[in-house]
Amino acid sequence: MKVVALAGGVGGAKLVDGLADCLGASDLSVVVNTGDDFNFLGLRICPDLDTVCYTLAGIADPSTGWGRKDETWNALTTLEQLDAPAWFRLGDKDLGHHLDRTSCLFQGWSLSAVVEHFCQRFGIQTVILPMTDNEVATYVHTQDEKSLPFQEYFVHLRCEPKVKGFEFRGVEQSRPAPGVLTAIQEADCVIICPSNPWVSVTPILSVPGVRKALNEKLVVAVSPLIGGKAIKGPAAKMYTELGIEPSSVSVSRHYQGLISGILIDTEDEKDAKQISRLGIIPMMTNVFMRDSEDRKRLAIELLQFCESQLKGKNL
Amino acid sequence: MKVVALAGGVGGAKLVDGLADCLGASDLSVVVNTGDDFNFLGLRICPDLDTVCYTLAGIADPSTGWGRKDETWNALTTLEQLDAPAWFRLGDKDLGHHLDRTSCLFQGWSLSAVVEHFCQRFGIQTVILPMTDNEVATYVHTQDEKSLPFQEYFVHLRCEPKVKGFEFRGVEQSRPAPGVLTAIQEADCVIICPSNPWVSVTPILSVPGVRKALNEKLVVAVSPLIGGKAIKGPAAKMYTELGIEPSSVSVSRHYQGLISGILIDTEDEKDAKQISRLGIIPMMTNVFMRDSEDRKRLAIELLQFCESQLKGKNL
């Protein structure tokens, strides 16, 4: 079975890691959100791509999910001593990657070429694709009428401002990165990872051409909310601030018309009926991924769910 | 006594360190060569300024003379894994400084403001001035008709190409950094550190206005050659390749008309008479600086030599 996964950061990376364990290298492509990408101290930083790449390379920090394991922070210490902005945690190993990427982009490489090179050098066989090679910048509109670049909101202000809406600047003019549409077209099913629907998945869906390609496919999501709470990150907080109850039902409604099924946590059994009424098949399981066994288990269940739905479509 | 020191990298930094030990903070200014500065992986790197700053801050690596002590190399390891150019040894602590500087320059800070900020934050009381805030780039013309950026010659090619001449691109249009001419004008004497005459001191002397200001002053040099050999770096090799015998006499001739005295090593006693014939007073001592005691001893002897010459001038 050929699978495309749409992924944001930590949650997406974990599921993709499980999927990579179950599928052949040529059977899995990951399309990663780049709306979080930003410039910091002259460096081009791609947090979601890095999280996915580091996780698949087996070099991610298991305690945080992002950044590299066995990391040192000496450059950051110097930056702090010099009063430079140091709110984005730049590890030394990580920094070498940002320097290389920034330098390659400056020399005219595309982002997808930079990612492909990283994957080759770090032994990643799964195809990892940025959603686009164009610059798209997620902005968070806040209830106090500010427009914050995503990392400013997410890391610097620790998601404290209340959100009112989102903007993916540049997305209308963007084009899917080479390979994205082909991967979707060749896929048997597309999986929306348990990433933030608002700021991780919607940017990918907003790249012109992506939604149309997905309409031809079986698309299945994994809910990033369990019992109305996000496993990680501000997804639940965002739903609440936007006046929507944070729940698996709301996530399902978010993707209504796009997905035919969704994995929700057993804790959310009460939501199943409402989700079914949206025309979406819910499947209950343990959605939380504590370790690599959980990742693989969830991936297997998800792939079985996809297969059963594919069979159902064929009938 | 108010002193200005003209310095390049390691040798200059060592003597400056000794002078800083002997003189009050307001009595010593150092004018540092910036012809070696270059761009690497998008970073602006100033090797001589860094060596002087790190040495005076007490954070230089004592085993090399350049870079920082207790350094780690994790960013560089990532760069190597990604096949990025890694011939310039970027330590992690050092890298934080380059990132801050590059970012400040990009925001419109002058190089001298960046250096001043570093000195403040790292507790350096000596005034350290770049020779200019303008970009000046030293090129090495080689006997096989190449024109190499200095760090390419010095670090990447390990000084292997034979030199034919030097060019300080941009120097004619450059202006002394703020404070340079005033420091010289207010100085009782100017010391040319035991730095490479061709590529460390000549760039400073080539900044418009500097030589004229020096002509009004007592200028004394310290020979970077002992027994025809450089303590560090390619100075002796350069003299030979340019068809000049590497010796304290040649160094004296290099600075003829500018200096009134020179410290040479006792090993070069035979050169004293010839140096005197150039109208330059030689003083013999142990010029080699093994440790901080040597630095201080040499600084004291040098300052005494300057004082005696100042008295001689007054007579």
For the stretch B184-194, pLDDT in tens is: 999 999 999 99
For CA atoms B106, B107, B109, B110, the dihedral sign is positive
Q: In chain B, whose CA is at the least distance from the CA of A80?
A: B96
| Residue B71 scores a pLDDT above 80 | yes
Q: How much is the average pLDDT of A62-87?
A: 95
Closest residue, chain B, to A91 (C-alpha): B75
B78: which 2 tokens? 């990532």
What residues in A contact B74, CB-CB < 8 Å? 71-72, 74, 91-93, 95-96
Report pLDDT digits (tens) over A282-309. Answer: 999 999 999 999 999 999 999 999 999 9
Mean pLDDT of B153-172: 96
* For chain A, percent of residues with pLDDT exceeding 90: 96
- Residue contacts between A and B (CB atoms, under 8 Å): 106
Residues B195-253: tens digit of each pLDDT: 999 999 999 999 999 999 999 999 999 999 999 999 889 999 999 999 999 999 999 99
Which 8-state DSSP code applies to residue A174? -
Enumerate the residues of chain A whose CB falls inside 8 A of the CB of residue B76.
Answer: 96
Q: Out of B31-35, B63-67, B126-130, which region has the weakest mean confidence (pLDDT)? A: B63-67
CB contact under 8 A, A99 and B41: yes
Strand partners, B132: B176
Which secondary-structure segment (H or E) carries A149?
Answer: strand A147-149
Token digits for B63? 């085993």
- Please check the confidence at residue A315 and state whether its pLDDT lies above 60: no
Burial class (CB in 10 A: 0-12, 13-18, 19+), B275: buried
Higher-confidence residue of B34 and A9: namely B34
What confidence score (pLDDT) does residue A314 get? Answer: 59
Query: Is the Cβ–Cβ distance between A194 and A231 less than 8 Å?
Result: yes
Examine the pLDDT at A50 and tell me if it is beyond 80. Answer: yes
Cβ neighbours of A93 in B, within 8 Å: 74-75, 77-78
Which domains are assigned to chain B? Answer: 3-136+172-314 (3.40.50.10680)
| Bridge partner list, A282 | A262
Q: Summarize the confidence of residues B157-171 as an average pLDDT.
A: 96
Is B74–A96 a contact, with Cβ atoms under 8 angstroms apart? yes
Q: Distances from the Cα of A123 to the Cαs of A56, A296, B25, B131, in angstroms?
A: 9, 20, 54, 47
Q: What confidence score (pLDDT) does residue B25 get?
A: 84
Residues of A with CB under 8 A from a CB of B: 41-43, 71-72, 74-79, 81-84, 91-97, 99-100, 102-103, 106, 117-118, 121-122
Of B138, B148, B261, B247, the closest CA to residue B201 belongs to: B138
Distance in angstroms (rounded) separating the CA atoms of residues A285 and A282: 10
- The fraction of chain A above a pLDDT of 70, given in percent, is 99
Of A71, A84, A92, the CB nearest to B103: A84
- Which pLDDT value is given to residue A312? 80
Mean pLDDT score, A218-244: 95
The confidence score (pLDDT) of residue B314 equals: 59
Q: What is the arithmetic mean of pLDDT over B284-296?
A: 94
- How confident is the model at residue B315, as a pLDDT? 47
Task: Judge whether A189 and A220 are in contact, CB under 8 Å.
Answer: yes
In this complex, which of A92, A106, A121 lies closest to B74 when CB atoms are compared? A92
Q: Confirm if A1 and A56 have CB atoms less than 8 A apart.
A: no
Q: What is the 3-class SS of chain B, one letter each residue? A: CCEEEEECCHHHHHHHHHHHHHCCHHHEEEEECCCCCEEECCEEECHHHHHHHHHHHCCECCCCCCCECCCCCHHHHHHHHCCCCCCCCCCHHHHHHHHHHHHHHHCCCCHHHHHHHHHHHCCCCCEEEECECCCCEEEEEECCCCEEEHHHHHHHCCCCCCEEEEEEECCCCCCECCCHHHHHHHCCEEEECCCCHHHHHHHHHHCCCHHHHHHCCEEEEECCEECCEECCCCHHHHHHHCCCCCCHHHHHHHCCCCCCEEEEEHHHHHHHHHHHHCCCEEEEECCCCCCHHHHHHHHHHHHHHHHHHHHHHHC
Tell me what the mean pLDDT of segment B136-157 comes to.
Answer: 95
The residue of chain B with its CA nearest to that of A74 is B93
Do A78 and B94 lie within an 8 Å CB cutoff? yes
Cβ pair A175, A195 in contact under 8 A: no
pLDDT at B231: 85
Helix axes B10-22, B292-314, angle to 10 degrees: 70
pLDDT at B180 over 60: yes
pLDDT value of residue B232? 86
Pairing between β-strand B147-149 and β-strand A261-265 as defined by DSSP bridges: unpaired
CA distance A198 to A131: 15
Q: For residue B177, what pLDDT band results from cuts at 50, 70 and 90?
A: very high
- Out of B95, B106, B117, the one facing A75 most closely (by C-beta) is B95
Question: What's residue B312's pLDDT?
Answer: 80
Q: Strand B43-45 and strand B38-40: pairing? A: antiparallel
More confident residue, B312 or A127: A127
B79: chain A residues, CB-CB within 8 Å: 96, 99-100
Would the CA dihedral through A247, A253, A259, A260 be positive or negative? Answer: positive
User: CB distance A121–B92 less than 8 Å?
Assistant: no
CA distance A4 to A177: 14
The pLDDT mean for chain A works out to: 96
Half-sphere CA count of B204, side-chain side, radius 13 A: 31
Mean pLDDT confidence for B17-39: 95
Q: Chain A residues with CB inside 8 Å of B42's CB?
A: 42, 99, 102-103, 106
Cβ–Cβ of B84/A106 closer than 8 Å? no
Residue matched to tokens 């059963």: A308
Q: Are B193 and B16 in contact (CB under 8 A)?
A: yes
pLDDT digits (tens, 9 = 90+) for B113-127: 999 999 999 999 999
Of A42, A72, A118, Cβ closest to residue B102: A42
- Do the Cβ atoms of B99 and A72 come within 8 Å? no
A10-34: pLDDT as tens digits: 999 999 999 999 998 889 999 999 9
Asked if A74 lies within 8 A of B72 by C-beta distance, the reply is yes
Residues A92, B75: C-beta atoms closer than 8 Å: yes
Name every chain B residue with its beta carbon within 8 A of the beta carbon of A78: 93-97, 100
